Structure 1
Amino acid sequence: MLITSPQNQSIKNIVKLAKSKERKEQQLFVIEGARELSLALQSNYTIESAYVCREMFEKTKYPDVLSSIEDKNIFDISSEIFGKIAYRENSDGIIAVAKPKLHTLENLRLSKNPFVIILEAVEKPGNLGAILRTADAAAADAVIVCDLQTDLYNPNVVRSSVGGIFTVQTAVCTSEEALAWLQANKIASYAAELQAAEFYQDIDFRTPSAIVMGTEAEGLTGFWLKNATKRIKIPMRGKIDSLNVSVSTAVLTFEATRQRGL
């Protein structure tokens, strides 16, 4: 049966899930796009339901994604209804409702020589998503988000990560818990700070390492500046004194990747 009414309860609930409060209460979130859904399925996320606009889905590069979802959980919807529940333009006609995972430090599995990205009090979903995308591209072991100020499953995080939220190991904790975890795993921490004495190119990232990034407005708090192994900076040659946090994270991450010969 084709869903054509915006008053359909499932459609109304997808709209509700745009709000963090609803996502937390229902323990559900929305995935838009066949590529993102494919990555979620590969990472063993539980898909509750999928809503497909067939005329749009015909153009997808991931036509097999529906084969991993039970037929009883797949619902056809009109293009008008899809337009009401979609978060982005140029979508490929599929939206799914999924269950989130538990993101704890205890669940992280590290390589023998880990590289970790730590974010303190990240506020903007787009920045968090972009950093997850970078982490995936560089094969970072994990992203640890301390004192989270946004929702990990915010639609803008899912969208801007291009599915990286599903492929990168992620943990949410306090800064104190993250520091204790780093120390227990013998991972050196490098805090990014504008006034640091050492340039990032002079740091040896070939051993177990973590970069620690703060907010764009305030930078890192005194906790990390005091407790990190070293403070490092990116040289700024122009009149503007800082980069977007996702760009800074990418610069430091790929320097570590370069040094490691990856």
Structure 2
Amino acid sequence: MGIIWDGTGYGLDGKIWGGEFLVGDYKEFKRVATIRDIALPGGDMAIKDIYRIKYSILMDALGEIPNEFATTDDLQVINMMLNKNFNTVKASSIGRLFDGVASILGIKDRVSYEGQAAVLLESKALENDLFYKYEIYNDEILKIDWRPIIRDIVNDVTLGKNVDIITAAFMNTLVNSAVEIVLRLKDIYKIDRVVISGGVFQNIYLLSKLVQILRNNNFKVYYHNRVSTNDEGMALGQLAVAEKGGGILCV
């Protein structure tokens, strides 16, 4: 099994991936779980103007954008884009979820490079054992519904809870949801080996907790050591797949 969490990249179905659970090997694999899609108003613009993602996930989770989170003067335009699905793409990306949460917490509304908000979010984390609610549902494949997480975060922000605590609780929740998915997949596929990859796992807080809990549940866990977990590792993996003649999407 592979837990592959990254920013945005095309999946084999032509959609934008970034929060995937895969089963397979170098020759063939299939996508067996992911997260609920996140709408990106403006497409690539949302990767730098991450307040757009904040508006998107707030609208999806709450049905509205509370006034205290409206930090730019283009909110009406973005609302129109989201409501009409105009110039808006969807991505199942953990990296984009990090961006949206960072903006909700007031850490960053615009970034200079991809992943900047996630780095700042990790730096704020004050380790704790708190976590938020989430749901897992079946929509052809298993999907993590992040909307309950956003609702809990908004509630904590409104109550004035420390951002450092919220940040850690958010990442704890991602770990818990990933472990639950992997446990379900183990029952289905009888696999106890888990590979962890993707740029999101440059986050040591997230990686270390996930590895520890998976090992506590008797999984054999593999993650990057000599090659980085972002684009360098991705290129090496693509070469390995090509050498084996793989890259086939199982259905």
Q: TM-score, normalised by structure 1?
A: 0.29
Between the two structures, name the one with larger relative contact order (CA 8 Å, sep ≥ 6): 2
Q: TM-score, normalised by structure 2?
A: 0.30
More helix by proportion, 1 or 2?
2
